Amino acid sequence: MHPTRRNALAALCCAGASPLLQAAAAWPDKPVRIVVPMAAGGNDDIIARLVGQDLAALLGQPVIIDNKPGAGGNIGADAVAKALPDGYTLVLGAVGTHAINASLYRRMPYDIRRDFTPIAMMASVPNVLVVHPSLPVKTVQELIDYGRQNPGKLNFASSGAGSSIHLSGEMFKSRTGIEMMHVAYKGSAPALADLLAGQVQLMFDNLPTSLPHVQAGRLRAIAVTSLKRSASLPQVPTVAESGLPGF
């Protein structure tokens, strides 16, 4: 459960399994494509674009970011698994595509170990529990109390069914016993947009994407899912500190 609660992204940049070393001398002699199996604007997309800029300068070839969201990331990951294994098609694999989904889907379209060659760990990012300012809670305990006093009135957004953001919310429901309706979106960016607009009440979001809105007062952060407090939000306690040990 640690990858789910600690990492919004445990990203591996992977290539379709191939004998890359045989072609290493000539690589790359054309643009490289990085498939992001999530919607544009989310944490995965941001990381891919930042890395892509530096990678293009290093390689001397354009790096194309190709968003292919859907099915919890399976569509994009499968496209890379079935691509020509020449080292020119990479995927920014996340904890969902390369860990969680194998336990959620009865049949996976790709084999995590056989179909990919891991290249490097890109990032490890905690989730942060953020609420719309209209929700009258400032701590995890206040959220639990509010949920118990107002059964059926809470909802939480996610970037899609089976994502670490979704499973963090489900784990919170299970640990606290409060009712919250899950509202799934096609990516974290549209989910965050509706949270900012007050269409949904709370969300376990990737910290980097929510941080500017927390700092601007548009969202309220009440806990982070990492084992320790984040240096970016040192005043915000962990969920474990807030009364849910082991979360």
Q: Are residues 27 and 41 in the same domain?
A: yes
How many Cα neighbours within 13 Å face the side chain of 135? Answer: 33
Q: Are residues 140 and 207 in the same domain?
A: yes
The dihedral of CA 114, 116, 122, 126: what is its sign? negative
Confirm whether pTM is higher than 0.85: no
* Domain end among 125, 160, 178: 125
CA neighbor of 113 nearest in space, from 227, 202, 17, 240: 17
Q: Are residues 12 and 111 in the same domain?
A: yes
Q: Are residues 107 and 196 in the same domain?
A: no
Asked whether the bond before 109 is cis by omega within 30 degrees of 0, the reply is no
Q: Would you state the pLDDT for residue 188? A: 87
Q: Are residues 138 and 115 in the same domain?
A: no
Residue 42 counted as domain residue: yes
The model's pLDDT over 22-74, given as tens digits with 9 standing for 90+, comes to 555 689 999 999 999 988 888 889 889 999 999 999 999 999 999 998 888 89
Number of domains in the chain: 2
Q: Is residue 121 very low, low, confident or very high in pLDDT (cuts 50, 70, 90)? A: confident
Residue 230 counted as domain residue: no
Residue 236 counted as domain residue: no
CA neighbor of 108 nearest in space, from 76, 134, 74: 74
| 95 against 83, higher pLDDT | 83
Residue 232 counted as domain residue: no
Q: Are residues 198 and 212 in the same domain?
A: yes
The model's pLDDT over 204-230, given as tens digits with 9 standing for 90+, comes to 999 999 999 999 999 999 999 999 999
Residue 243 counted as domain residue: no
Q: What is the CA radius of gyration of the chain?
A: 19
Q: CATH no. for residue 24?
A: 3.40.190.150
Q: Are residues 56 and 131 in the same domain?
A: no
Q: Token pair of 160, please?
A: 């899609």
Residue ranges of alpha helices (H) inside the chain are 2-6, 43-59, 74-81, 95, 101-104, 140-149, 164-176, 188-196, 207-215
Sequence-separated contacts (24+) of 189-193 with Cβ below 8 Å: 189/39, 189/40, 189/41, 189/42, 189/45, 190/39, 191/157, 191/158, 191/159, 191/165, 192/157
Q: Would you state the pLDDT for residue 16? A: 64
The model's pLDDT over 178-207, given as tens digits with 9 standing for 90+, comes to 999 999 998 888 999 999 999 999 999 999
CB 205 within 8 A of CB 165: yes
Q: Is residue 15 very low, low, confident or very high in pLDDT (cuts 50, 70, 90)? A: low
Q: CATH no. for residue 162?
A: 3.40.190.10
CA distance 203 to 95: 18
Q: Would you state the pLDDT for residue 191? A: 95
Q: Are residues 41 and 74 in the same domain?
A: yes
Q: Would you state the pLDDT for residue 163? A: 85
Q: Are residues 116 and 16 in the same domain?
A: yes
Residue 238 counted as domain residue: no
Query: What is the residue range of 75's domain?
Result: 2-125
Q: Would you state the pLDDT for residue 3? A: 37
